A and B are shown apart, each in its own frame.
Chain A
Amino acid sequence: MIAINRRDILISGAFLWLFAVVGTTLVALTEFTTADAIIENERQVLLRNLYALLPADRLDNDIASDTLELPAASLLGTESISTAYRARMQGKPVAVIFNSVAPDGYNGKIHLLVGVNIDASLAGVRVIKHAETPGLGDGIEIRKSPWIRSFDGKSLDNPETDGWRVKRDGGEFDQLTGATITPRAIIAAVRNTLLYYRQNADMIFE
């Protein structure tokens, strides 16, 4: 039977507190030292994703900073504020890139970057986050298959409304071998983004 007296408890508590302080201080120091590098890294990844949709020769502004905060919108699939990135050339609007969400992926939400040119045609689409099945639904990643390129240049008139489905449903878009739900979700989300753009075009570049 070990007798634990008040003094022992206080000393133990003090030790725990001491280690907590030292640990937290070291973590805070590291955070401070690495903060700038991390922000720069995140910016680089963002720029890489944005330039994948809009080659650098189409714009001359700092697209990563020319942002617009959009409120939650069901057409964008977003439940909270999302950021849109605006591209300009010599001051004139060229395109806008939306952060859209396809809520009905096979395995949850799929996060997209949708680039819309000023003439309402698609500059392109890229998937930035998803949980679809490897080998089946993950063909939506550009690394795995060129499928996502099938959106380049499309618009709400090209194809017409009925064309905005997978071929199996009578539309014009290929599905992926063994995966139909995933392409369906993305086609719907991209079309919705185009609809959002049509409804809000004047607000975006005001």
Chain B
Amino acid sequence: MTSNSEITRNGLWGNNVALVQLLGLCPLLAVTSTVVNGIGLGIATLITLVLSNTIVSLIRGFVRKEVRLPVFVLIIASLVTIIELAMKALFYDLYLVLGIFIPLIVTNCAIIGRAEGFASRNPVGPAAVDGLMMGLGFLVVLALLGGLREIIGFGTLFANAELMFGEGAQALTITLNPDYSGFLLAVLPPGAFFGLAILIVAKNWIDLRPAEKPETVTPVAEGA
């Protein structure tokens, strides 16, 4: 059985959904033109992952092997529909902005991937943690890529924060340079690909660095 800390490290870094498994890239690339959009979709995906992993793990004892995949899809689709309705009722403006990408969470391979690959073989506790950590890992990448593209593309950060955090959050928007004319490429799909590539390169570079350091021999003091 994998330990919680191993699950955490896997979900956030070692087996990160977006940077390592390269799953869920369609919504990732499409909604990350601003931080707020990225975080909004990230939270919806996170909730879906946690709930779907938990439910799949709970039923793993009695679901028949032959129909497990259709059952998983049913569970995920029901969950996403419920989340979509909740967003429509509670965060209508954000729902309008994210549009079709909320129901498309159903098609995010990461969710059915974790259901089949982890939740269906592990107890509820670890499955829930796995869902949480995979979701967090995805959310962080969504936020990072969104921030990168928003700063370079628009020169702002947290624009439209009131869509998610209420009217008072308008003050949260940081405009780095009011005269910045924007860099359109960062906002369009090619910019998303470039941005994601930069993040993957950065992660791989961080992973590979310690191996390059030569082994230093620490002199051991002689005597007592």
Contacts and interface: CB of A to CB of B under 8 A. Distances in A.
A37 B90 contact: yes
A158 interface: no
Interface residues of B, number: 25
Given A12-B64, A19-B75, A20-B74, A135 B85 contact: no
Report whether over half of chain B's contact residues are helix, strand or loop; otherwise say mixed: helix
Interface residues of A, number: 26
Given A12-B64, A16-B70, A23-B78, A41 B92 contact: yes
Interface in A1-48: 4, 8-9, 11-13, 15-16, 19-20, 22-24, 26-27, 30-31, 34, 37-38, 41-42, 44-45
- Interface-centre pick from A9, A11, A12, A26 (highest chain B CB count, 10 A): A12
Binding site secondary structure of chain A: helix
A148 to B, nearest CB: 19
A134 interface: yes
Interface stretch (B101-109, B119-127, B180-188): B180-188
Given A12-B66, A20-B74, A30 B184 contact: no
A38 B85 contact: yes
B20 interface: no
B197 interface: no
Contact of A15 (B64, B75, B88, B184): B64
Given A38-B85, A38-B89, A134 B67 contact: no
Contacts of A11: 64
Contacts of A19: 71, 74-75
Given A16-B71, A31-B85, A134-B188, A45 B92 contact: yes
B185 to A, nearest CB: 9
Interface in B73-92: 74-75, 77-78, 81-82, 85-86, 88-90, 92
A15 B71 contact: yes
B201 interface: no
Nearest to B66: A12
B169 interface: no
Given A19-B71, A41-B88, A134 B184 contact: yes
Interface in B174-206: 182, 184, 187-188
B89 A37 contact: yes
A45 B70 CA distance: 38
Given A41-B92, A45-B96, A30 B187 contact: no
B63 interface: yes
A16 B64 CA distance: 9
B33 to A, nearest CB: 8
B89 A16 contact: no
11 contacts: A11-B64, A12-B66, A16-B71, A22-B78, A23-B74, A23-B77, A26-B82, A34-B85, A38-B89, A42-B92, A44-B92
Interface of A: 4, 8-9, 11-13, 15-16, 19-20, 22-24, 26-27, 30-31, 34, 37-38, 41-42, 44-45, 134-135
Given A27-B78, A38-B85, A41-B89, 19 more contacts: A4-B66, A11-B64, A15-B71, A16-B67, A16-B74, A19-B71, A20-B74, A23-B78, A26-B78, A27-B81, A30-B85, A30-B86, A34-B86, A37-B88, A41-B92, A42-B92, A45-B96, A134-B184, A135-B184
